[in-house]
Chains A and B, each alone.
Chain A
Amino acid sequence: MTARALRRLIVMGLIVLWEVLPRSGAIPELFLPSLSSTLLSGWNEAAEYRQALAVTLSEVAISFAFACGGGILFGAVVGSLPRPRILIMPMISSLYAVPLVILYPVFTVWFGIGPESKIAFAAIYGFLPTMLSTAAGIQTIDPQLLLAARSMGATLSQRLVRVIIPAAIPTVLSGLRVGGALVIVGVVVSEMLISSAGIGYLISRYRTILDTPHVFAGVLLVLAMAVAFNAAIKWIERRCAIWRTGTQGGQRAAEEIAASALQPAT
């Protein structure tokens, strides 16, 4: 059996267990409602969930745009100039170890409890790995490639467009994957903490009234969002498959960043 088929089997098995275990009474429905009752309660409140999803998705999209735009821009500057790199990189790396979520209450004081505070928090949360990856991607470009381009008479802007950017793409993409995942975490967590709208808010509200099927319906939506996002990035990465073979140094650097990024996740 291939690893892929086995993975599918495991997922199927988990889905079946989710249905069977609560139904058979092995797990009380209050702890884990069966899949069907979760879906049903989600369906019954479809309008409410749809509205919450729209709020959350828009917050995620805006935060993602900020995180990526800022991360790529700052990463490119920090990665290509040695002085800012020496100055900033140690600070960013130690900032990474701080659970940023402790700052969220401060954000609500500054930006209110509406979407602004979520966007600000999630954008900063996703910014760090994107920036670190981009910086690493640009730092690990083979100097031989730049030298070759120069020998062919490439100007600075030609080197940027034709060598530096394409060579950095795979590393930047893996940074976007981690950054995007953290943006989703950031938005949902901040909604759960202090909010009046969004999926995180729904989950948190239904939890306080012990309505577990509705809690799990919200969890399913967040899960779907994360899976869809990951699939989208994977698709883009596959389209750039040729790139990957060239810059394995950058790839490795990005994976290290990804690994360390997932540690301090709230």
Chain B
Amino acid sequence: MGGNAMQPLANITPLKSVPRAGAIEVRSVGQVFKTSTQDVVALSEVSLEVKPGRFVVIVGPSGCGKSTLLMMMAGLRQQTSGTVTINGAPILKPDPDRVGVVFQEASLFPWLTAEENVEFPLALRGVAKSERRAKAQDALRLVGLDGFGKRHPHELSGGMKQRVSIARGLVQDPPVLLMDEPFAALDEQTRMTMGDELLRIWAATGKTVVFVTHSLTEAVYLADEVVVMSPRPGRMVDHLQVPLARPRTYEMLSGDAFGRLRDRIWRHIKKSA
């Protein structure tokens, strides 16, 4: 019967909404740069476990190795010791199936349109044009840029460019999204809006997000958990839970709970400065 033949298809659809695994495990990772005169320890014995679907922010002053750690999770840099595993398998090189990366502002290709930028990772793997376009459209709609696909990056505002970057990071539907100071180049107002947008997208997709920033307010506002790092040598000095309710609101910024969390992070950072 026709109705029976359709049955398996109907079973596939709900599978899609089940959150995909996105567990990250960092086990005693270290990074040493050898120079001609001495060895510089950039990261020392960092261990961190990120559960699927969590929003984790890594915060710390420059030189604390937070970006280095993120690059290792992305497979863009190899640690000298320890292991990084995502979905139970070690990350040895970039793997766009498991990890999407969003960089600072200038990482869109200026000669491609927004749409083509989002399609780029699909084009690298030879996905057919029509499928690429459809997926890029979906990703652009998700980040609120429906109708802007034909524009080039220089025709977009800073916030819009970062939306395109996020769409590009999500287009292959990886379970993990890594973000390296993605809003650092934006002005304060845009930054706040983009924070809310990111939380909305995160809630809609259920990705595991690891977000690097040097802004304490941004860290507490966005995160489920904040990891605090300190320089010379780069190491983890605190790992705190953020018990604030979701959705986060602007009013929380002036609340006591928010202030206490931010103070705690600030004391760690002041000590290391």
Contacts and interface: CB of A to CB of B under 8 A. Distances in A.
Interface of A: 142, 144-145, 147-154, 158, 162-163, 166-167, 169, 240, 242-243, 245-247
The 6 closest A-B pairs by CB, nearest first: A246-B110, A152-B121, A151-B101, A245-B154, A148-B107, A153-B96
Q: Is the interface of B mostly helix, strand, loop or mixed?
A: loop
Contacts of B204: none
B18 interface: no
Nearest to B122: A152
B76 A147 contact: yes
B124 A148 contact: no
Given A147-B76, A158-B124, A246-B154, A153 B109 contact: no
Interface in B111-141: 111, 120-121, 123-125
Contacts of B121: 152-153
Choose among A144, A152, A166, A243 the residue with the greatest number of B CB atoms under 10 Å from its CB.
A152
Contact of B76 (A150, A162, A166, A246): A150
Given A158-B124, A242-B152, A246-B153, A151 B94 contact: yes
Contact of A154 (B103, B104, B124, B153): B124
B263 interface: no
A150 B76 CA distance: 7
Nearest to A154: B124
Nearest to B121: A152
Contacts of B103: 144, 147-148, 151
A243 B94 contact: no
Nearest to A163: B109
Nearest to B178: A151
A246 B95 CA distance: 27
A247 B96 contact: no
A151 B76 contact: yes
Contacts of A246: 109-111, 153-154
Interface string B66-84: 0000000011100000000
